[in-house]
A and B are shown apart, each in its own frame.
Chain A
Amino acid sequence: MSSDSPQSIIALAGIRYRWRPNAPVVLDVEQLDIAPGERLFIRGPSGSGKTTLLGIMGGVLTPGSGHVHLAGSDLATLSAAARDRLRANEIGFVFQMFNLIPYLSVLDNVLLPCRFSRKRSERAAADREPAAEARRLLARLGLSEAALLTRDVAELSMGQQQRVAVARALIGRPGIVIADEPTSALDVDSRDEFLELLQEECTASGAALLFVSHDVSLAHHFDRTLDMRMLNRALDGEADSS
């Protein structure tokens, strides 16, 4: 697959990133392609550049060199505003913990992407109201109690919060769901249940799933596994120099 292959939902080529102009390169990726609907597991120890990589894929961080293609568009050719819009349209993010805006209700948290992306708002409203779609997703994730939807998010358990975050990532059918260590705050039982739900829902909405974790035991749930130590050449340099 070439880096600008139209069938990739995300394609990276020759990416180098440093946080500050004179800081060391923390990410150096020659090539990475993710096919639509693919389930990719990226493993790597803490500090290996996983979160940085996700920021680059989402156009939140701009690499010093190289190209990022997201849903067919070269991010380098887009304005910052267009990059933000494309991210809102095409990516749903789930983070490690504290995913939710504390002052919004569960429902408003799920609807948040619809406020920043007309496309997701329209897709969410394709067959029903966005709020109804949010409720449907929450119900599918096992959060159907009406009382829960208007609850203060801080009162939810960690597992419930992560499921709300998945509903938010999925609303309006983005092309890819990026999950950054979403299970590391969960205990083993809720971790497996969560992973199952995440997979099911991504399949149901046709989204590719990019799952990042340091926990290798999860890898067998996925189509393909990549190791940051292989992917990120900046880590080799580190190893050489030490």
Chain B
Amino acid sequence: MTALMHLAARSLWNRRFTAGLALLSITISVALLIGVEKVRTEARSSFTQTVAGTDLIVGARSGSIQLLLYSVFRIGDATANVSWESYQRITSHPMVAWAIPLSLGDSHRGYRVVGTTNSYFERLRYGGNRSLELAAGTWFEDLFEATLGAEVARSLGYDIGDEITLAHGTGSHSFVDHDDMPFTISGILAPTGTPVDQSIHVSLEAIEAIHLGWQSGIPIPGQEVSPEDARSQELTPRSITAFLLGLESRAAVFQIQRAINAYPDEALSAILPGVALQQLWNLVGIAENALLVVAAFVVLAGLAGMVTMLLASLSERRREMAILRSVGARPVHVFGLLTAESTLLGITGAVAGFALVYGAMALGAPLAQASFGIHLTPSAPSVRELTLLGMVIAGAALAGAVPAWRAYRLSLADGLSIRT
């Protein structure tokens, strides 16, 4: 059959303009299909890597997806807080290895401010047990110091020693500012490809300090506090938004989770990040599948274009078929020639589409990282991608059966004579 493949390749090359157009539509459709699949898996793995090191996430009682989104991904807001007493009681449990408190609710030019402690820097893990690193400076020590995520520093052009003021609320247009208490940038973290890059980190006490003299989210007139006054005040937080827990043993997860969910003094929720992510995927799965279906239809359209091209070529190729018959080709060879052509187009289109996606990923990785915080790691094609490719190639071979069958019938009917 190598003879047929050779013939098919030469024949396609001879019609390289029309064949090229058919090939282009297959290539683009395959790139779309693989691209959708790639974005889906990359987004998932990026999310999974972000929460990989955490055993439990604890917040005020709410849906687990909501808790996951606002605590880890800084999407949306908490409905209620966790009292400092509850935080201390729970984290003093002997099975708790570490805890990272999170106090959210303020922002700076659209980036979220996270009030936390040193344990954030020391304990947070991402991307397969990697810990945070500083690209420059130090983790905050002073009350009015802040440590920036890589993306915040990059896009706002901040450097060590610059001063920033925080805004109350998380919208990008906050009208109430904490401009009486500026923060000095003490350090900038190395990029992680997680929401850490988009965060501004300060101490829990700093969050407390900037809200001194505030009530129900608004400053009380005449009660403004200067930074110097704040330093002398009691700054133990009264509440935090949520906290992440690491346990001594993974086996204790369900026990601790049950205990927190049944916590008597306060309505709390403890969630397993992996389980919550799974729920999230189930939710967005419908949209993802819709995208995949659209991409699959685009592939079908590409294959239909190829079939049209091959069918249109047949009338001018009847003599060619008669010649092939005269030199000993069987009608199945004629059938095989046409399917070989469609298969070749399918293989070339699939490989080219695939290369397009991977090439674009290699080139666009920095952009995806910067704009979406999605960390595109150059990875070997997944089994699912290869299956999709196989299906496209099989589809092309199968679609080729339509013109092939017609050519087969024609060559049987024509014999050695060509009647047009």
Contact = CB atoms under 8 A, between A and B. Distances in A.
Interface of A: 51-52, 54-55, 58, 60-61, 80-81, 84-85, 87-89, 91, 93, 95, 98-104, 108, 112-113, 115-117, 168, 180
Which of A51, A85, A101, A108 has most chain B Cβ within 10 Å?
Answer: A101
Contacts of A100: 323
Contacts of A88: 327-328
A87 B329 CA distance: 9
Closest 3 CB pairs of A and B: A88-B328, A103-B14, A116-B328
Which of B13, B323, B325, B331 has most chain A Cβ within 10 Å?
Answer: B323
Which of A84, A85, A91, A99 has most chain B Cβ within 10 Å?
Answer: A84
A116 B323 contact: no
Given A89-B328, A91-B326, A115-B3, 20 more contacts: A52-B417, A58-B416, A60-B416, A84-B329, A85-B328, A88-B327, A93-B327, A101-B320, A101-B324, A102-B14, A103-B10, A103-B11, A108-B10, A112-B324, A112-B327, A113-B327, A116-B327, A116-B328, A117-B327, A180-B416
A81 B330 CA distance: 7
B20 to A, nearest CB: 15
B413 to A, nearest CB: 8
A201 B14 CA distance: 32
Contact of B3 (A93, A116, A180): A116
Contacts of B325: 60, 84
B328 A113 contact: yes
Interface in B1-32: 3, 7, 10-11, 13-15
Contacts of A102: 14, 320
6 contacts: A51-B415, A51-B417, A60-B415, A95-B326, A103-B15, A117-B327
Contacts of B330: 80-81, 84
Contact of B416 (A55, A81, A112): A55
B44 interface: no
Interface residues of B, number: 23
B323 A101 contact: yes
B333 interface: yes
B61 interface: no
Interface of B: 3, 7, 10-11, 13-15, 319-320, 322-331, 333, 415-417
Contacts of B15: 103
Nearest to B320: A101
A122 to B, nearest CB: 14
Contacts of A84: 325, 328-330
B333 A116 contact: yes
Contacts of B416: 51, 54-55, 58, 60-61, 93, 95, 180
Nearest to B4: A115
A136 to B, nearest CB: 19
A195 B119 CA distance: 98
Contacts of A52: 415, 417
B315 to A, nearest CB: 14
A88 B333 CA distance: 13
A93 B10 contact: no
A51 B326 CA distance: 12
B326 A60 contact: yes
A180 B319 CA distance: 14
A100 B415 CA distance: 17
B184 to A, nearest CB: 73
B187 to A, nearest CB: 67
Which of A52, A103, A117 has most chain B Cβ within 10 Å?
Answer: A103
A102 B12 CA distance: 11
B13 A103 contact: yes
A201 to B, nearest CB: 17
Contact of A95 (B323, B329, B331): B323
Nearest to B413: A19
A58 B10 contact: no
Contacts of A117: 327-328
B1 to A, nearest CB: 11
Nearest to B15: A103
Nearest to A85: B328
Nearest to A89: B328
